[in-house]
Structure 1
Amino acid sequence: MTADSLPPWLRQPLAELLRQRGHAWLLQGPSGLGQYELGLALAAAWLCEQPEEAKAQGACGHCPSCHAIQVRTHADLCVLMPEVAMQALGWPLDEKSQADIDDKKRKPSREIRVEAMRDAIGFAQRTSARGRGKAVLIYPAERMNNITANALLKTLEEPVGEVRFVLASEAAWQLLPTIRSRCLGFTLPWPDSGQAQDWLVGQGVPAADAPGLLRAAGGRPSDALRLASQGQSPKAWSLLPKAMSRGEVGALSEHAPAQAIGALQKLCHDLMAVDCGALPRFFEPADLPPAPPRAALARWSRSLASAAKTAEHPFNAGLMLEALVSEARTTLNSASRRP
Structure 2
Amino acid sequence: MAKADAALRDGPAAPLGVQPDGQLPLPWLADGLAAARQLAGAHALLIHGPAGAGHFDMAVLLAQTLLCESVPAGTAAARACGRCASCHLVATRAHPDLRLVLPAALRVQRGWTDEDDYIAPKGEAKPSRELRIDQVRAAIDWAQQTSGRGRAKVLLLHPADALNLSAANALLKTLEEPPGQMRVLLTSADPEHLLPTVRSRCQRLRIALPPVDQARAWLLGQGLDAPEALLALAGGSPLEALAWVQEGFTPALLSGLPRRVAAGDAAALQGRPIPRVVELLLKLAHDAQVQAAGGAPRFFAAAGLPGGTDLAALRTWQQALLRVARHDEHPWSAALLVESLVSQAAAVWPAPAPARGASLHSAR
Q: TM-score, normalised by structure 1?
A: 0.89
Q: Secondary structure at the match of 1:236?
A: helix
Match of 1:68 in 2: 89
2:95 partner letter = H
Residue 245 of structure 1 deviates from its aligned partner by 0.9
Question: What stretches of structure 1 of length at least 5 have no aligned partner?
Answer: none
Q: Secondary structure at the match of 2:183?
A: strand
Tell me the matched-pair count. 332
Match of 1:156 in 2: 175
Match of 2:24 in 1: 5
Q: 1:101 to 1:194 in 2, by over 3 A?
A: same
1:25 partner letter = L
Check whether the contact 1:25–1:167 (CA below 8 A) recurs between aligned residues: yes
Specify which of 244, 267, 270 is matched with residue 253 of structure 1. 270
Specify which of 83, 86, 89 is matched with residue 107 of structure 2. 86
Q: Secondary structure at the match of 1:325?
A: helix
Residue 79 of structure 1 deviates from its aligned partner by 0.8
Check whether the contact 2:52–2:209 (CA below 8 A) recurs between aligned residues: no
1:278 partner letter = G
Specify which of 42, 45, 53 is matched with residue 62 of structure 2. 42
1:198 partner letter = A
Residue 293 of structure 1 deviates from its aligned partner by 5.2
The CA deviation string for residues 3-56 of structure 1, in whole angstroms up to 9 with x for no partner, is 622322111211211332311121222222111111111111111111249972
Q: 1:24 to 1:329 in 2, by over 3 A?
A: farther
Check whether the contact 2:310–2:347 (CA below 8 A) recurs between aligned residues: no
More helix by share: 1
Q: Hey, what's the Cα distance between the residues in 2 that align with 1:266 and 1:105?
A: 31
Match of 1:229 in 2: 246
Check whether the contact 1:273–1:279 (CA below 8 A) recurs between aligned residues: yes
Match of 2:331 in 1: 314
Residue 74 of structure 1 deviates from its aligned partner by 1.1
Q: Hey, what's the Cα distance between the residues in 2 that align with 1:260 and 1:121?
A: 38
2:61 partner letter = A
Q: Secondary structure at the match of 1:327?
A: helix
Residue 62 of structure 1 deviates from its aligned partner by 1.4
Q: Hey, what's the Cα distance between the residues in 2 that align with 1:68 and 1:123?
A: 18
State how 1:288-327 maps to structure 2 within 5 Å: 288-290=305-307, 292=309, 294-327=311-344
The CA deviation string for residues 112-171 of structure 1, in whole angstroms up to 9 with x for no partner, is 121101111112222211112111111121111111111111211222211111111223
Check whether the contact 2:50–2:209 (CA below 8 A) recurs between aligned residues: no
Q: Hey, what's the Cα distance between the residues in 2 that align with 1:185 and 1:219?
A: 23
Q: Hey, what's the Cα distance between the residues in 2 that align with 1:129 and 1:47?
A: 11
Check whether the contact 2:271–2:335 (CA below 8 A) recurs between aligned residues: no
The CA deviation string for residues 178-237 of structure 1, in whole angstroms up to 9 with x for no partner, is 2122212222222121110110111222x33x1222122121110011112122111210
2:273 partner letter = A
Match of 1:168 in 2: 187
1:23 aligns with 2:48: no
Q: TM-score, normalised by structure 2?
A: 0.83
Q: Hey, what's the Cα distance between the residues in 2 that align with 1:91 and 1:42?
A: 21
State how 1:97-246 maps to structure 2 within 5 Å: 97=117, 107-205=126-224, 207-208=225-226, 210-246=227-263
CA RMSD for the aligned pairs? 2.5
2:131 partner letter = I
Identity of aligned residues (%): 39
The CA deviation string for residues 275-324 of structure 1, in whole angstroms up to 9 with x for no partner, is 44432111111111237455544443332222023323433111111111
Q: Secondary structure at the match of 1:274?
A: helix
* Structure with bigger gyration radius: 2
Q: Hey, what's the Cα distance between the residues in 2 that align with 1:294 and 1:51?
A: 61
Check whether the contact 1:72–1:92 (CA below 8 A) recurs between aligned residues: no
Q: Hey, what's the Cα distance between the residues in 2 that align with 1:333 and 1:17?
A: 54
Match of 2:282 in 1: 265
Comparing 46-55 and 177-186, the one that deviates more = 46-55
Q: Hey, what's the Cα distance between the residues in 2 that align with 1:247 and 1:46?
A: 54
